C-alpha cells in the first residue's frame, strides 16, 4: 500500500516506456534515474524489477507502481504495441541469424566502440578466457577504484555500485573458469579497497553496500572452489570482522563454516576470544563471540557471555531470558528477566520488551497483582502517557484501577505543578485525563497548564457538549496560526475552522461564523494556497 501511494507521485517521472511482447521497460526519474521492467501475463498479475535499493530486495517498489499505472493509462494501445514488439523481435532474430561471422564481428566491434561499459565487460571476459591474470586484476581494481568519482556525492554512488557489481561478476567468472585461487586473492584485494573507500561515499540508498555484498559472495565461492587453508581463512575473516572493511561488507564468518571445517572454526574461536580479552568492551568483538557461541548451541556459555556485558536498559537480560526460554528453561528465564527489572528499576529508560515479557509471564501464571506492581513501578519512573495506559490496563484486569488511578493522577498533578511537561510540551496529566475520557476534569485542570495541542484535543472532544468553550479555544488557536505559512500550517488552520463551524452550528450562530470566515479570507487573501485549501474544505 505504501509503495502504491508513493508511486502516484512518480507518474510524471516515467519516460522511455517500451512495450515488448511479454514485458515493459521504462526509466523513472527520482533521486536517481532508475530502470524498471515489468513482466506481463503472470497468474498473479505483473511482476516488477527495479534497480533501486528497495526493488533489488525483491519488492514491488514505487517506481514499478508508477510504470504499472502508466501502462494502465495506455491500456488500449498495449495489445497493438505487443504485436509490433513481437514482429520486431522476430525480424531482429531473422536478421542476426542471416549474418555471416564477419558481419557479426563487425556488429560487435561497432557496439564496443559506442558502449564503454560493454567494452569493459567483454575485455574482462576475454582476459578470463585466456587466463590473463594481470589484465583481470587491473580491470577489477580499476572498476573498484573510487577516484574517478566525485567523492561524497550521492549521485555518483549508483554509477560506482554498477562498476563494483561488474567486478563481482568478473571474480565469479574467474572461479567458474577454474582460476579460483586467482579469484580469491583478487576478491580479498577488492574487499580491502572497498573498505578504504566506503567512508568517503554517500551510500544513502545502500546500492554500494549491495554491490559489495556480491563481491563477498564471489569471495566465498572462490574459497569453496580453491579449498583454501582453513586457519589462514579464519585469520583473514577475524581481521575483516573486527576491522573497518566490515562497514561496507557485513561478513558473517559462519557463512564460511563448511570451508573452515573443524580446524578453521577452532582457530576462529581462539582468535575471537583473544580479541575480546584485549578489548572486552568492544562491540564488534562481543558480537563475533556471540555469533560463534550461539552457533555452537551451548546455552550456558552464551548466557555467561551475555552476562559479561549487561546493558543498563535491560535488553541483555531479555536476550538471556529468550535464549533460556528457547532451551525449555522457563523458570530460569523468568528469574533473569526479574533480575533485569530490579537492576534497571531506577533507569528512566528500560527496554519495554523486558517489562512486557515479565508482565506476560505473570499474567500466564495468574498473578495480576504482580503485573500491576511492575507497571506501577515503571510509571513512577517514566511518568509518560504510555506508562499510564499500561498501568491502567493492568489495574483494570486486577480490578483495582480506581485506587491506582487516584495515586497516579496525584503524581501527575505534582509533576504539572512543578512544570514537568510531557513529550510534546504539555503536562502528562492533561493527556491522561483526556485518554481516560474524563473531559470534565480535563477542563478544570487545563487552565494555565495545557499546551495548544492539548487545548485542541479538548475542544475536539467538546464541540457538542461544550460548544461555547470549544469555540473559544478554536478561535484563539486560529489567531496564532495566521502568521505561519506552508501547507501544514494551512491544513491545520482549515481543521480549526471546521471545528469552529461545528461549534457555531451547535450554538445556532452560523451567521456569525460566516461573517468571521469572510473577514478572515479577506485578511489572508494573498495566500493563494490557503484559499485553495479552504475552498477544498468547503470554507
Retrieve residue 154's grid coordinates: 550521492
Mean of the pLDDT values across residues 243-258?
80
Assess contact for 32 and 205: CB atoms under 8 A.
Answer: yes
Retrieve residue 480's grid coordinates: 496564532
pLDDT greater than 60 at residue 435 = yes
Question: 404: closest CA among 442, 377, 381?
Answer: 377
Q: What is the pLDDT confidence band of residue 361, given thresholds at 50, 70 and 90?
A: very high
Q: Looking at residue 506, what is its pLDDT?
A: 93
Q: Looking at residue 423, what is its pLDDT?
A: 47
Report the greatest alpha carbon distance in the chain. Answer: 94
Q: Looking at residue 443, what is its pLDDT?
A: 94
Beta bridge partners of 14: 28
Beta bridge partners of 18: 25
Q: What is the arrangement of strands in the sheet containing 33-39, beginning at the earlier edge strand?
A: 14-19, 23-29, 33-39, 47-50
Q: Looking at residue 246, what is its pLDDT?
A: 61
Give the Cα separation of 365 and 359 in Å (integer): 10
Question: 397: closest CA among 430, 360, 429, 432?
Answer: 360
Residues 497-526 have pLDDT tens digits of 999 999 999 999 999 999 999 999 999 988
Give the Cα separation of 302 and 31 in Å (integer): 44
Retrieve residue 38's grid coordinates: 515489468
Which run of H or E residues covers position 41?
none
Which is it for strands 14-19 and 33-39: parallel, antiparallel or unpaired? unpaired
Q: Which of 243-257, 293-307, 478-492, 519-533 has the lowest mean pLDDT?
A: 243-257
Mean of the pLDDT values across residues 445-455?
90
Three-state DSSP at 250 gives coil
Residues 98-156 have pLDDT tens digits of 989 999 999 889 988 888 778 877 887 788 777 787 888 888 888 888 777 655 455 57
Sign of the dihedral defined by the CA atoms of residues 199, 203, 204, 208, in that order: negative
Question: 449: closest CA among 473, 420, 469?
Answer: 420
Q: Looking at residue 1, what is its pLDDT?
A: 52
Assess contact for 30 and 23: CB atoms under 8 A.
Answer: no
Mean of the pLDDT values across residues 241-245?
77
Higher confidence at residue 330 or residue 54? 330
Residues 375-416 have pLDDT tens digits of 999 999 888 999 999 999 999 999 999 999 999 999 999 988
Retrieve residue 168's grid coordinates: 563481482
Beta bridge partners of 37: 25, 49
Report percent pLDDT > 90 for the chain: 42
Give the Cα separation of 487 and 533 in Å (integer): 9
Q: Looking at residue 132, what is its pLDDT?
A: 80
pTM for this model (two decimals):
0.63
User: In residues, how long is the chain?
Assistant: 539
Q: Looking at residue 468, what is its pLDDT?
A: 94
Assess contact for 395 and 401: CB atoms under 8 A.
Answer: yes
User: How does the average pLDDT of the chain come out, rounded?
Assistant: 87
Give the Cα separation of 313 and 336 in Å (integer): 14
Give the Cα separation of 199 and 193 in Å (integer): 11
Give the Cα separation of 196 and 232 in Å (integer): 22
Report percent pLDDT > 70 for the chain: 94
Q: Looking at residue 47, what is its pLDDT?
A: 78
Which run of H or E residues covers position 192?
helix 180-198
Give the Cα separation of 392 and 58 in Å (integer): 43
Q: What is the pLDDT confidence band of residue 41, given thresholds at 50, 70 and 90?
A: low
Residues 162-212 have pLDDT tens digits of 888 888 988 988 898 888 998 999 999 988 888 887 777 777 777 788 888
Mean of the pLDDT values across residues 295-303?
88
Amino acid at each position: 500500500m505504501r509503495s502504491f501511494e508513493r508511486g502516484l507521485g512518480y507518474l510524471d517521472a516515467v519516460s522511455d516506456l517500451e512495450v515488448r511482447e511479454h514485458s515493459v521497460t521504462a526509466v523513472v526519474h527520482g533521486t536517481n534515474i532508475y530502470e524498471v521492467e515489468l513482466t506481463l501475463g503472470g497468474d498473479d498479475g505483473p511482476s516488477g524489477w527495479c534497480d533501486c535499493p528497495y526493488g533489488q530486495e525483491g519488492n514491488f517498489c514505487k517506481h514499478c507502481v508508477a510504470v504499472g499505472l502508466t501502462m494502465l493509462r495506455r491500456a488500449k494501445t498495449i495489445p497493438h504495441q505487443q504485436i509490433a514488439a513481437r514482429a520486431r523481435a522476430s525480424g531482429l532474430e531473422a536478421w542476426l541469424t542471416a549474418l555471416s561471422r564477419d558481419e557479426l564481428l563487425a556488429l560487435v566491434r561497432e557496439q564496443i566502440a559506442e558502449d564503454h561499459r560493454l567494452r569493459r565487460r567483454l575485455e574482462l571476459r576475454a582476459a578470463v578466457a585466456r587466463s590473463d591474470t594481470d589484465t583481470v586484476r587491473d580491470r577489477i581494481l580499476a572498476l573498484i577504484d573510487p577516484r574517478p568519482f566525485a567523492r561524497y556525492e550521492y549521485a555518483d554512488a549508483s554509477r560506482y555500485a554498477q562498476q563494483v557489481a561488474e567486478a563481482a561478476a568478473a571474480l565469479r567468472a574467474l572461479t567458474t573458469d577454474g582460476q579460483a585461487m586467482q579469484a580469491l586473492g583478487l576478491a580479498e584485494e577488492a574487499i580491502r579497497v572497498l573498505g578504504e573507500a566506503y567512508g568517503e561515499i554517500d551510500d544513502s540508498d545502500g546500492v554500494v553496500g549491495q554491490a559489495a555484498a556480491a563481491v563477498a559472495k564471489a569471495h566465498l565461492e572462490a574459497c569453496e572452489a580453491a579449498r583454501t587453508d582453513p586457519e589462514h581463512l579464519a585469520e583473514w575473516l577475524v581481521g575483516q570482522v573486527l576491522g573497518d572493511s566490515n562497514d561496507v561488507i557485513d561478513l558473517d564468518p559462519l557463512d564460511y563454516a563448511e570451508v573452515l571445517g573443524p580446524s578453521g572454526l577452532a582457530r576462529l574461536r581462539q582468535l575471537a576470544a583473544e580479541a575480546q580479552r584485549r578489548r572486552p568492551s568492544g562491540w564488534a568483538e562481543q558480537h563475533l563471540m556471540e555469533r560463534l557461541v550461539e552457533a555452537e548451541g551451548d546455552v550456558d556459555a552464551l548466557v555467561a557471555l551475555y552476562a559479561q556485558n549487561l546493558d543498563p536498559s535491560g535488553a541483555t537480560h531479555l536476550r538471556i531470558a529468550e535464549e533460556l526460554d528457547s532451551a525449555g528453561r522457563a523458570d530460569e528465564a523468568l528469574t533473569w528477566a526479574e533480575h533485569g527489572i530490579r537492576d534497571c528499576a531506577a533507569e528512566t529508560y528500560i527496554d519495554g520488551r523486558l517489562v512486557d515479557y515479565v508482565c506476560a509471564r505473570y499474567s500466564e501464571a495468574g498473578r495480576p497483582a504482580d503485573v500491576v506492581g511492575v507497571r506501577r513501578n515503571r510509571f513512577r519512573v517514566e511518568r509518560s502517557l504510555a506508562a499510564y495506559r499500561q498501568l491502567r490496563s493492568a489495574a483494570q484486569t486486577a480490578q483495582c484501577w480506581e485506587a491506582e488511578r487516584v495515586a497516579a493522577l496525584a503524581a501527575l498533578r505534582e509533576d504539572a505543578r512543578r512544570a514537568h511537561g510531557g513529550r510534546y510540551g504539555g503536562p502528562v496529566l492533561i493527556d491522561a485525563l483526556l485518554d481516560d475520557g474524563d473531559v470534565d476534569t480535563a477542563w478544570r485542570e487545563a487552565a494555565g497548564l495545557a499546551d495548544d495541542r492539548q487545548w485542541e484535543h479538548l475542544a475536539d472532544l467538546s464541540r457538542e457538549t461544550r460548544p461555547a468553550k470549544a469555540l473559544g479555544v478554536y478561535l484563539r488557536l486560529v489567531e496564532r496560526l495566521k502568521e505561519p505559512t506552508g501547507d501544514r500550517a494551512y491544513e491545520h488552520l482549515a481543521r480549526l475552522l471546521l471545528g469552529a463551524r461545528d461549534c457555531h452550528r451547535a450554538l445556532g450562530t452560523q451567521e456569525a461564523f460566516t461573517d468571521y470566515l469572510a473577514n478572515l479570507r479577506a485578511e489572508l487573501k494573498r495566500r493563494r494556497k490557503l484559499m485553495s485549501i479552504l475552498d477544498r474544505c468547503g470554507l
